[in-house]
């Protein structure tokens, strides 16, 4: 729990191969030392590659990428109610486990959660925000050739944020801007917020007027008592 450990690929040596488009014959293997580079305090590792039909290997790679900060298998709780964390590798002084109170354990986990509105991706070099050559690398937004620049066109330009209707379409595939029967464009006539009026309309349509009850939370035992 002390410090931040560097993530490394699985210990076994992977062999990456290039596959022809119209054949399932492997052209030739490349050891990962040929597909790895360390330069300017950055490292690029591209030796772990799998084909689309290698489902077992892809699952192993996805599990490695999406693994949590702490493995549940190394977390236990003793009879005193304290959290016991088994270290992945012992410390130099021989320490193999860390015992802490539940509140202290939650504090250490909360420290790993980034603050709201904090950039999680940092760009360096020519991709840095104030780099002089950034405009040469980052493509400029496409300009409309049919419109002439004017104050009216600038006022009616596309908003910076997506509308709630487009977000529903993009995330949940719910299109509220077009009729599901004829495909015509829809527009909002009124927003009803009065509960009695909502109940009256739902009753007239034969729809339930109350939300379904919430199911009880499932019990999940994250710790094993030792």
Q: Residue ranges of the domains in the chain?
A: 1-67, 69-140, 164-204
| pTM, 2 dp | 0.38
Look at residue 23 and tell me whether its pLDDT is greater than 60: no
Average pLDDT, integer, range 110-116 = 84
Average pLDDT, integer, range 92-112 = 90
Report the number of secondary-structure helices (H) and strands (E) in the chain: 6, 8
> Measured between alpha carbons, how far is residue 181 from residues 89, 151, 175, 184 in Å?
62, 39, 12, 8
Q: What is the mean pLDDT of the chain?
A: 75
Higher pLDDT, 19 or 59: 59
Residue closest to 109 by CA, chosen among 137, 75, 58, 136: 75
Distance CA 207, CA 205 (A): 6
> Measured between alpha carbons, how far is residue 130 from residues 37, 41, 71 in Å?
26, 20, 39
Using the structure block, give the residue that is written with the tokens 């400029």: 140
Q: What is the model's pLDDT at position 13?
A: 36
Supply the Cα-derived Rg of the chain in whole angstroms.
28
Alpha helices in the chain (DSSP H): 55-65, 102-110, 134-137, 151-155, 164-171, 195-204
Using the structure block, give the residue that is written with the tokens 């603050």: 115
């Amino acid at each position: 729990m002390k410090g931040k450990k560097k993530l490394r690929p699985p210990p076994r040596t992977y062999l990456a191969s290039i596959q022809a488009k119209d054949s399932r014959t492997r052209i030739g293997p490349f050891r990962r030392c040929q597909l790895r580079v360390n330069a300017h305090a950055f490292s690029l590792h591209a030796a772990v590659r799998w084909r689309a039909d290698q489902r077992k290997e892809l699952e192993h790679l996805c599990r490695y990428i999406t693994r949590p900060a702490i493995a549940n298998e190394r977390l236990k709780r003793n009879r005193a109610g304290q959290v016991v964390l088994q270290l992945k590798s012992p410390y130099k002084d021989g320490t193999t486990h860390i015992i802490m109170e539940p509140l202290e354990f939650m504090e250490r986990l909360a420290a790993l959660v980034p603050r709201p509105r904090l950039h999680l991706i940092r760009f360096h070099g020519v991709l840095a925000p104030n780099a002089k050559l950034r405009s040469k690398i980052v493509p400029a937004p496409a300009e409309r050739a049919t419109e002439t620049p004017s104050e009216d066109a600038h006022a009616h330009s596309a908003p910076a944020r997506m509308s709630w209707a487009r977000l529903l379409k993009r995330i949940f595939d719910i299109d509220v801007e077009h009729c599901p029967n004829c495909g015509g464009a829809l527009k909002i006539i009124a927003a009803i917020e009065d509960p009695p009026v909502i109940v009256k309309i739902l009753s007239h349509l034969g729809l339930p007027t109350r939300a379904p009850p919430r199911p009880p939370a499932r019990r999940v035992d994250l710790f094993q008592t030792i």
